[in-house]
Amino acid sequence: MMEEWASLALDTAAARGASYADARVVDVRQRELSTKNSKVGTLVESESLGLGVRVIAGGAWGFASTDRLNRRGIEKCAAEAVAIARASALAKRHDVVLAPEQAFVDTWQSPFIKDPFRISVDRQIALLLEADAEMRKVAGVTVAETGMVFRRLEQLFASTAGARIHQMKMQSGAGVVASSFAEGELQKRSYPNSFGGQHALRGYELVEELDLVGNARRVAEEAVALHKAPQCPEGVRTILLDGSQVGLQVHESIGHPIELDRVLGMEANFAGTSFLTLDKLNILRYGSEHVTVVADARLDHGPGLGTFGYDDEGVPAQSTDIIRNGRFTGYLTSRETAAAIGQKRSNGTMRAESWNRLPLIRMTNISLLPGAWKLDDLIADTDDGIYMETNRSWSIDDRRYHFQFGTEIGWEIKGGKKIRMLKNPSYSGITTEFWNSCDAVCSRDYWTLWGTPNCGKGQPMQTMGTGHGAAPARFRNVRVGVAFSR
């Protein structure tokens, strides 16, 4: 049926005068589970099926969508997309020009071992409640929270150029959080990461590997112990960031500013514009020689939330150098923006949240490539510093240049040894100065492709999953302070 619906939409758009059209039929199933202090908090399962049609008519874009998947509904949707394009053409500055792309006919599926939707909700809730109970065994824990999220997305992309691409992606994620409130102060510890835990393009095997129950007590004990820890000292210090925090740093201070639609002023919602103007390409010293960052949507890079076979313009997944040994070398592009700056091809980053949203340039897997250090050796090589773990808060300006991040926990390093726990650590800086201060990155053994499931962009807002491969790294001469903890 997907093929029939897409073909009807394309035929209607062409008959109405569209010079180009593509259609996406998307079927999404999602399950969300959570617990809070021994009670089930969320238990939701939803499904969504619909079609989105994007056209060029009169040299301008038009888009419309529908969940009325019958002849009348699909023809009306396609006709509306063409009408919107013709109306948009009245205010256009120039005709839309697309970089060329081959019309692929293909099928792609993300690999997974265990389908989470074939595992009973009772079994999944039981695991969460067991982890919840382990955290609550620790005296001083105020709130114990757990969660799982699963998403199955099946999509057909078709275009008037002849593309027909069928993809199926399975996403899984899980995590736990222990919070402790005492004397007007809130401390928390999360595992394996904050803001929902770890997420990947995998099946239920990911949840089993995370061992939520086995890590729950440690997480709770650290949350309570933070109350007695000294405040993070203020000043200019050497800092080491754990891999998950490096991943978020990449997301905010590299991932968003390299989105070419922001650079060109075509998009500013939810993350602002960008300091990376076109004159900086291949010239700007973005970071030190230890900093090499790629945008890689290929499965070879890993099963990240930014992994796929083809983007939502039918462009194959690619690996693009963003920063090579510190030098800024590339943007995230679409067929339209690539053509606008004279590039021969899009690097395949257009994605939409679902069938009722227009594709936008989105981060794929924006990853800092690993270095050569062992973590213990890196700590031993640090005479005076602070090791910070697990993001708690962040703030960055609308050009992605000035930032401040807080983490859940810190460890003071003296003489190459971690000597004491620190609470409420934070650090701040300027994007290029910060990345230029990086003098060491840990090896592949410590590298994880972290999943960020909640990246927002656009109006109406779209939530998209992105991936960020990172290992612990060291940064010199960074401004360190105390984060707000109430």
Q: Can you give the pLDDT at residue 439?
A: 98
Residues 410-452 have pLDDT tens digits of 999 999 999 999 999 999 999 999 999 999 999 999 999 999 9
Pair 144, 39: CB distance under 8 Å: no
Closest by Cα among 267, 464, 269, 459 to 353 = 464
Torsion of CA 13, 17, 19, 20, to 10 degrees: -10
Which DSSP category does 373 fall into? B
Per-residue pLDDT tens for 292-335?
A: 999 999 999 999 999 999 999 999 999 999 999 999 999 999 99
pLDDT at 15 over 60: yes
Three-class DSSP category at 8: helix
Q: Is the pLDDT of residue 271 over 80?
A: no
For 199, half-sphere exposure in the C-beta direction (CA atoms, 13 angstrom radius) is 29
Sorted by sequence, the CB contacts under 8 Å of residue 199 that are 6+ apart come out as 149, 171, 172, 173, 305, 451, 452, 453, 465
Q: Tell me what pLDDT residue 482 has.
A: 79
Domains of the chain (ranges, CATH numbers): 2-228 (3.30.2290.10), 235-482 (no CATH)
pLDDT in tens, 146-157: 999 999 999 999
Nearest to 192 by CA among 222, 172, 212, 220: 212
DSSP state at residue 218: H
Q: Which residues pair with 421 in a beta bridge?
A: 411
Using pLDDT thresholds of 50, 70 and 90, give the confidence band for residue 484: low
Residue 91, Cβ neighbours under 10 Å: how many? 7
Q: Give the pLDDT mean for 19-43.
A: 98
What pLDDT, on the 0 to 100 scale, is given for residue 268?
86
Tokens of 472: 């612990």
Closest CA to 255 of 241, 282, 240, 276: 276
pLDDT for 281 equals 97
User: Alpha carbon of 463 to those of 301, 323, 453: distances in Å?
Assistant: 22, 26, 8
Distance of alpha carbon 152 from alpha carbon 161, whole angstroms = 28
**Contact call for residues 159 and 165 (beta carbons, < 8 A):** no
What's the confidence (pLDDT) of residue 483?
73
- 253: which 2 tokens? 């201070």
User: What pLDDT sits at residue 486?
Assistant: 46
pLDDT at position 37, please? 98
Q: What are phi and psi of 209, to 5 degrees?
A: -70, -30
Please report where in the chains the tokens 């230029």 appear, as a residue: 436
Mean pLDDT to the nearest integer, 464-476: 98
* C-alpha span between 345 and 307 (Å, rounded): 19
pLDDT at 485 over 70: no
Confidence of residue 269 (pLDDT cuts 50, 70, 90): confident
Residues forming a β-bridge with 238: 385
State whether residue 226 is helix, strand or coil. helix
Is the CB of residue 171 less than 8 Å from the CB of residue 155? no
Cis amide bond preceding 192, omega within 30: yes
Q: Return the pLDDT at 217.
A: 98
What's the angle, vertex CA 449, arms to CA 447 and CA 450, rounded to 5?
115
Enumerate the H helices of 259-393 as residue ranges. Answer: 260-263, 335-340, 375-380
Place of tokens 């903890």: 485
pLDDT in tens, 69-120: 999 999 999 999 999 999 999 999 999 999 999 999 999 999 999 999 999 9
Dihedral Cα 313, 317, 319, 321, nearest 10 deg: 10
CB 96 within 8 A of CB 61: yes
* Mean pLDDT across the chain: 97
Q: Of residues 204 and 269, which shows the higher confidence score?
A: 204
Residue 86 phi, psi dihedral angles, 5° rounding = -65, -35
Closest CA to 198 of 218, 186, 181, 215: 215
Cβ atoms within 10 A of the Cβ of 38, count? 10
Three-state secondary structure of 285-298? ECCCCCCCEEEECC
Q: Which helix (H) or strand (E) holds 421?
A: strand 417-422
**pLDDT tens string 202-252:** 999 999 999 999 999 999 999 999 999 999 999 999 999 999 999 999 999
Q: What is the pLDDT of residue 19?
A: 98
H or E element: which one contains 124? helix 121-136
Phi-psi map region of 416: left, alpha, beta (phi>0 left; psi -120 to 50 alpha): left
End-to-end CA distance of the chain: 53
For the chain, the residue count is 486
Among 129-143, 322-336, 470-484, which is the least confidently predicted range? Answer: 470-484
Question: What are 392's two structure tokens?
Answer: 């708690």
Of 402, 424, 406, give the one whose Cα is nearest residue 233. 424
Q: Is 342 exposed, middle or buried (0-12, 13-18, 19+ CB in 10 A)?
A: exposed
